[in-house]
Amino acid sequence: MRKKNIPQYLLVAAVLLSAAMSACTVKNEVKPDSSVQWDPISLKIYIKDTNNFDLLDTTSENYAGDQLTIKFKNKQYKINYPKIAKDEFNYEELQVEKTADSSLFCAKVANLDGSVNYDDDFLVLWKVKKPEKGQPSSTQNIIHLRHTIYKNQSKTSWLIDDKNTGIESYTAAFEILVTFK
């Protein structure tokens, strides 16, 4: 090896090391681009029974919204704040609205941070009684949100009870059917 080639070898080695370190940094980067405005994520859930009664309509005798609980991450949501003693679990309030595109009421979990990665479940639980039979019926559904951000791009997908929904947007709406035993 000649002494005059050593600086060239060192220069090539430095360039290759720099490129390798740069590639590793980009590959492991998970922080979103702060210059991008991320839309909030929201979920609407419509709940009706087999007779097409809206179970979230407070004016109906079939109203069962007070038995609805949605769990997401470390929070539990209910339509109204329950009367709870100070030492019991406190619920977040769940919004109920009648949207212009539907004649049904929906429970809405809104404004989740769109600049955050999610790979989490919404556990939708309720326990209702049918007036004629009086037998309780417990039901649950799992709505899975997968939202991945890389630099200035995002990908969102929704599953319900482990089935792909084909929905790939920041907002999703699901109609859940409650059956009575």
Residue ranges of alpha helices (H) inside the chain are 6-28
**Residues 177 and 50 sit within 8 Å (Cβ to Cβ):** yes
pLDDT in tens, 153-170: 889 999 999 999 999 998
Cα within 13 Å of Cα(169), Cβ side: 7
Share of the chain above pLDDT 70, in %: 66
Give the residue with greater pLDDT, 97 vs 1.
97
Residue 54, pLDDT > 50, answer yes
Report d(CA 78, CA 95) in Å as an integer.
8
Amino acid at 149: I
Q: What is the DSSP string of 49-81?
A: ETT--BTT-TTSTT--GGGEEEEETTEEEESS-
How far CA 46 is from CA of 14, 37, 71, 85, 112, in Å, comes to 60, 29, 16, 30, 19
- Stronger pLDDT, 15 or 177, i.e. the higher one: 177
> Bigger pLDDT: 41 or 50?
41
The pLDDT assigned to 85 comes to 47
Residue 17 has pLDDT above 90, yes or no: no
Q: How far apart are CA 89 and CA 155, in angstroms?
A: 34
Looking at the predicted structure, is the pLDDT value of residue 113 above 80? yes
Per-residue pLDDT band at 139 (split at 50, 70, 90): confident
Under 8 Å between Cβ of 71 and 94: no
Domain boundaries, the chain: 1-30, 41-178
What pLDDT, on the 0 to 100 scale, is given for residue 135?
A: 54
Q: Which residues of 17-29 are buried (b: 16+ CB within 10 A; e: fewer)?
A: eeeeeeeeeeeee
* Model pTM score: 0.70
